[in-house]
């Protein structure tokens, strides 16, 4: 008898708990998705000891840290990176195959956010003729707009147009980006609005931008910057008009030879400016102030400009991340007060990593090098002419892809596969080319591992070329100073991913996750439909439900 009562009590207890677990978690009032341009995963660990408790460290310790997070496609550039984070898929489906690529129909190179049909707003410059028209699938912020009958807002913010436009998606209320030059202001296009709202006009007129044309010196004593190489070395480009790439930099006097207001973007002050503008956007647009989820898509572009200019191992990169830590802290503190602690969700990731400067790697006996793409183009054209006795069979070479001229092939009665095989045969004999794959191979089978899988995920059947080649590790088409990116090697693919706030269970994992998993995870957290082309899967281990 006693046992029976005990069983009933147990069952009641279990069902009560079960009912509690079934309660739908409160949706966040706001999602802030942060992309840090060119942030390698190891920047978190490399600068960890110098971060304060309220910035990156707070995200990691209170949030969920994915330590083995990667890009799963090539090429790892800014346009494809931002598109992949927000659409939950790869260039194969969203169609952003580079920052620029050769448009086979137009017969010319196009830029990933170019749109001739729209007009600039806030400037007369063609820097405003931009929209997400080339992005083929939806973003998770688009899905939120559809789900909320367009009541949940989306605002995009970045210095770079593509860092603002691609994340904000097709249905954004607005995306804003920075136009430097002699104007120095945030602009948009008629794709979103016919004019700048008052809060943007006020921001542009506030003198904020001009205030950053000041001296850039290290935030702390440079002697304490032990996570980077010496300040003066042979591997940094620096600014035009200053002989050495060494602190301090007087931005006001250097601005004339370095893009006027544009020089701000190439310093950590560009991230300060982005933060100022993001806070103004949160207030100006009343984001996160009711129970319908809004999105702020935020990208910090200056990290990329500094990395390109000074290289992965520079004091300038170290300083830029110590300062970005302050920006993150400022943003979190603002959101705690404005939206409320636990009422918003943040994710932070990157759009690609970067390679250590190859000339530096060579100096410490690690293989690396520089590929002369202009010479390669000449040599390949000559080879093809000798083989087929026809001119102009190759139409374009860009982003490691060789595009054929189909009209010429048809006229000369040369089979596509015949040319594919011949070009691939030539490519693999080049000492700096490591791997080659053809269109026929990429469309004829599904690759599930290694570089071929990455190439396939980056290959868009309509937009990509006919032969794809891969350079040796740490071999780049770039100047001998500064860092770049684009490959499928881990220095370019390994990125941070931290989720934080509403709906997120604290923790960490070393299990592999991939960039296209982010958008489906956000969609799951909100209980909304996945982006139309999503190929990633929700990272359920961190979902607090
Ligand atoms: Zn980038």
Place of tokens 């007369």: 124
Q: How far is the CA of 38 from the centre of ligand 1 (A)?
A: 5
Please choose, from the candidates 15, 267, 143, the residue with its C-alpha nearest in 3D space to the C-alpha of residue 532: 143
Q: How far is the CA of 352 from the centre of ligand 1 (A)?
A: 6
**Helical axes 78-87 vs 518-526, angle rounded to 10°:** 30
Instruction: Tell me the chain's radius of gyration from C-alpha atoms.
Output: 25
Q: Is the pTM of this model over 0.85?
A: yes
Tell me the C-alpha to C-alpha distance, in Å, between residue 219 and each of 8, 12, 224, 239.
65, 60, 10, 19
Q: How far is the CA of 116 from the centre of ligand 1 (A)?
A: 23
Q: Can 78 be counted among the known catalytic residues?
A: yes
Q: How far is the CA of 351 from the centre of ligand 1 (A)?
A: 5
Catalytic residue among 45, 61, 76, 78: 78
Q: How far is the CA of 350 from the centre of ligand 1 (A)?
A: 8
Q: pLDDT tens track of the chain, all 545 residues?
A: 455 555 555 444 454 444 445 555 679 999 999 999 999 999 999 999 999 999 999 999 999 999 999 999 999 999 999 999 999 999 999 999 999 999 999 999 999 999 999 999 999 999 999 999 999 999 999 999 999 999 999 999 999 999 999 999 999 999 999 999 999 999 999 999 999 999 999 999 999 999 999 999 999 999 999 999 999 999 999 999 999 999 999 999 999 999 999 999 999 999 999 999 999 999 999 999 999 999 999 999 999 999 999 999 999 999 999 999 999 999 999 999 999 999 999 999 999 999 999 999 999 999 999 999 999 999 999 999 999 999 999 999 999 999 999 999 999 999 999 999 999 999 999 999 999 999 999 999 999 999 999 999 999 999 999 999 999 999 999 999 999 999 999 999 999 999 999 999 999 999 999 999 999 999 999 999 999 999 999 999 999 76
Q: Which residues contact 305 (CB under 8 A, 6 or more apart)?
A: 265, 266, 267, 270
Segment 210-214 long-range contacts (CB within 8 Å, at least 24 positions apart): 210/184, 210/261, 212/251, 212/264, 212/267, 212/269, 212/270, 212/272, 212/273, 213/251, 213/252, 213/255, 213/261, 213/263, 213/264, 214/251, 214/252, 214/269
Tell me the C-alpha to C-alpha distance, in Å, between residue 91 and each of 144, 467, 491.
22, 16, 20
């Amino acid at each position: 008898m006693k046992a029976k009562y005990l069983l009933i009590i147990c069952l009641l207890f279990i069902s009560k708990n079960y009912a509690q677990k079934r309660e739908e978690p409160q949706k966040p009032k706001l999602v802030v998705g942060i992309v840090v341009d060119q942030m390698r995963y190891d920047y978190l660990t490399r600068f960890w000891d110098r971060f304060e408790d309220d910035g990156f460290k707070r995200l990691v310790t209170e949030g969920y840290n994915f330590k083995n997070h990667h890009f799963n496609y090539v090429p790892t550039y800014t346009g494809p990176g931002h598109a992949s984070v927000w659409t939950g898929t790869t260039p194969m489906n969203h169609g952003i195959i580079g920052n620029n690529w050769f448009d086979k129909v137009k017969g010319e190179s196009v830029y990933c956010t170019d749109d001739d049909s729209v007009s600039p707003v806030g400037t007369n410059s063609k820097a405003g003729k931009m929209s997400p028209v080339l992005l083929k699938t939806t973003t998770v912020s688009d899905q939120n707009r559809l789900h909320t009958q367009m009541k949940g807002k989306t605002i995009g913010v970045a210095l770079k147009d593509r860092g603002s436009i691609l994340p904000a998606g097709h249905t954004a209320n607005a995306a804003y980006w920075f136009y430097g030059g002699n104007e120095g202001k945030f602009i948009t296009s008629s794709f979103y609005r016919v004019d700048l709202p008052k809060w943007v006009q006020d921001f542009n007129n506030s003198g904020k931008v001009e205030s950053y044309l000041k001296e850039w010196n290290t935030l702390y004593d440079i002697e304490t910057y032990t996570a980077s190489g010496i300040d003066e070395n042979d591997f940094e480009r620096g600014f035009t008009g200053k002989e050495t790439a060494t602190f301090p930099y007087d931005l006001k006097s250097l601005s004339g030879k370095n893009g006027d207001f544009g020089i701000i973007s190439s310093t950590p002050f560009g991230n300060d400016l982005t933060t100022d503008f993001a806070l103004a956007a949160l207030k100006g647009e009343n984001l996160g102030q009711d129970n319908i989820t809004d999105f702020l898509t935020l990208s910090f572009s200056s990290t990329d400009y500094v990395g390109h200019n000074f290289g992965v191992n520079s004091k300038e990169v170290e300083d830029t991340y110590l300062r970005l830590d302050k920006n993150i802290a400022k943003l979190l503190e603002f959101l705690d007060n404005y939206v409320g602690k636990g009422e918003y969700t943040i994710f932070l990731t990157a759009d690609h990593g970067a390679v250590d400067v190859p000339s530096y790697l060579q100096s410490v006996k690690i293989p690396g090098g520089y590929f002369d793409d202009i010479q390669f183009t000449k040599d390949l054209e000559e080879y093809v002419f000798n083989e087929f006795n026809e001119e102009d069979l190759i139409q374009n070479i860009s982003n490691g892809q060789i595009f054929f001229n189909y009209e010429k092939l048809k006229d000369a009665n040369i089979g596509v596969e015949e040319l594919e095989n011949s070009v691939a045969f030539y490519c693999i004999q080049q000492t700096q080319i490591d791997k080659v794959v053809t269109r026929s191979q990429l469309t004829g089978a599904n690759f599930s591992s290694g570089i071929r899988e990455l190439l396939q995920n980056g290959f868009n059947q309509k937009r990509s070329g006919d032969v794809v080649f891969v350079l040796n590790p740490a071999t780049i088409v770039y100047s001998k100073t500064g860092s770049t990116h684009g490959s499928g090697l881990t220095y370019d693919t390994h990125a941070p991913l931290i989720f934080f706030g509403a709906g997120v269970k604290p923790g960490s994992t070393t299990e592999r996750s991939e960039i296209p998993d982010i958008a489906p995870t956000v969609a799951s957290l909100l209980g909304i439909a996945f982006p139309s082309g999503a190929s990633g899967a929700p990272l359920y281990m961190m979902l607090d439900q």
